[in-house]
Amino acid sequence: MKYRDLIKLSFRTLRTNKMRSALTMLGIIIGVGSVILMMSLGNGAQNLIVGQVASMGSNNIYIEPGSPAGSISQQTIDQLGKVSLKAKDALAIAKDPNVEKVSVMIYGNGIASYLGEDKKITFMGVDSASMEISDLSIMSGRGINDDDVNGMTKVIVLGHKLAGDLFGEDDPIGKNVRVKKLNLKVVGVLEEKGGQIFQTFDDYAYIPVTTTQKLLMGVDYINAILVKAKSEEVIDQVVENARIVLREQHNIYNPEGDLTKDDFKVMSQVDMANMLTQITGALTAFLSSIAAIALVVGGIGIMNIMLVSVTERTREIGLRKAVGARNKDIMNQFLLEAITLTLLGGIIGFLGGTLLSFGASIALTSALKSTWGFTIPIGAVILSLGVATAIGLIFGIYPARKASKLNPIEALRHE
């Protein structure tokens, strides 16, 4: 029997039992759609991270307290008696000829108040170089300058969204905002920047680092040092030099360069992007593998339905054998029906997963306030449809063989 005739017969049989065929394909549709959705979201997350790192400057290096072997908060470091980061550490790193700029940063949480309007905020203690390294632009007013840091002035620069939340349509420049019982004069508002690596600069408030240390928090340490290398080619050298300098500053004897002995972490933007990409990749693979279980469940469902179909069509099989159909023809017919079911389910699942991925990208772009690109990896399409077809083949073999082995005389006697 020609394959063209077998294909026509398979579609005719599936159309005869539309509801059964639809329910049989449901597991495959859900499985393929879920795999497409998970892989699309994972690919979108990786592209977002890479794009944001590029926009923030791939020459940047981030230094914070804590051993690279595990995250240690500043409070824990102080409790353990370890040396935390201080402004003098930044000055020592700045002597590296491969370093273009160095800035310091300290951050905390508090309530910002203006005319009875209260908003919980994250405030950042920064210096004049912090905004330049972080690529933050002023929309109105000015930024934090060296005079503010040296004079410990009570001024504040507001993120774009924070300014709108506190002042609405009013011009905030020159007005006073109260943060932790400290009145701060608004001297600038930032341009809207949107989300960057899952943080929103538009919600932050920026205060001179010395004012933040002494008047708001009462500490002498800093939470981070930002370093901008002169070029991408010297990043690795700057990272290594920074580690050597900080070990000298903190009296850490570590000639073998064992990172677990350090009380600080040095990471470039590229390192951070690679780490986040690995995390999202592993999470995508994990979620996709869970979604793929639905494909296996769908395959078992197809096998069960095909076994029922063999039982229901026993007389048909006997009649076809009686008029000359070979075992191979019977087996190919049932096998082709199983593959057709899974392939149709795979195509519908692909279309459904694509639509869901597109909707999810729109929703995530709105929620994160950052462009979440809609992508469907070619590998996901090939994998999902290939697996769907393979499942139809694997789970269709047993029912097909069972049908082909029926004795034609006994099949014709079947009631």
Out of 195, 228, 262, a domain closes at 262
Residues 77 and 164 in one domain: yes
- pLDDT greater at residue 369 or residue 275: 275
The percentage of the chain sitting over the pLDDT mark of 90, rounded to a whole number, equals: 22
pLDDT digits (tens, 9 = 90+) for 333-385: 778 878 888 888 888 888 998 999 899 888 887 776 667 778 887 777 777 77
Residues 35 and 176 in one domain: no
Mean pLDDT lowest among 73-77, 169-173, 290-294, 355-359 = 73-77
Report yes or no on 7 lying in a domain. yes
CA 414 to each of CA 13, 91, 179, 273, 411: distance values in angstroms, whole numbers, following the listed order: 20, 92, 86, 66, 5
**Per-residue pLDDT at 257 exceeds 50:** yes
Residues 243 and 123 in one domain: yes
Residues 147 and 207 in one domain: yes
Residues 34 and 117 in one domain: no
pLDDT at 20: 75
- Ranked by mean pLDDT, which of 72-76, 106-110, 113-117, 367-371 comes out on top? 106-110
By three-state DSSP, how is residue 107 classified? strand
* CB under 8 A, 24+ apart: contacts of 7-11: 7/336, 7/340, 9/333, 10/333, 10/336, 10/337, 10/340, 11/340
Tell me the residue type at 394: I
Residues 71 and 205 in one domain: yes
Residues 115 and 135 in one domain: yes
Q: Could you list the residue range(s) of the whole structural domain that residue 168 is in?
A: 67-262
Residues 104 and 250 in one domain: yes
The percentage of the chain sitting over the pLDDT mark of 70, rounded to a whole number, equals: 86
Residues 41 and 141 in one domain: no
Report yes or no on 62 lying in a domain. no
**Per-residue pLDDT at 316 exceeds 80:** no
Q: Which pair of structure tokens corresponds to residue 215?
A: 């008047």
Out of 231, 262, 293, a domain closes at 262
Report yes or no on 58 lying in a domain. no
Report yes or no on 308 lying in a domain. yes
**Per-residue pLDDT at 22 exceeds 70:** yes
Q: How far apart are CA 346 and CA 25, in angstroms?
A: 8
Q: How far apart are CA 283 and CA 289, in angstroms?
A: 10
pTM of the model: 0.63
pLDDT digits (tens, 9 = 90+) for 53-85: 666 666 888 898 876 655 444 444 444 334 478
Report yes or no on 61 lying in a domain. no
Q: How far apart are CA 19 and CA 247, in angstroms?
A: 71
Out of 207, 227, 262, a domain closes at 262
Q: Which residues pair with 264 in a beta bridge?
A: 65
- pLDDT greater at residue 392 or residue 263: 263
Residues 91 and 43 in one domain: no
Mean pLDDT lowest among 128-142, 201-215, 293-307 = 293-307
Report yes or no on 339 lying in a domain. yes
Helices (H), 57-86: 74-79
Residues 317 and 367 in one domain: yes
Q: How far apart are CA 266 and CA 263, in angstroms?
A: 10
Per the structure, how many domains does the chain have? 2
Report yes or no on 269 lying in a domain. no
Report yes or no on 268 lying in a domain. no
Residues 181 and 36 in one domain: no
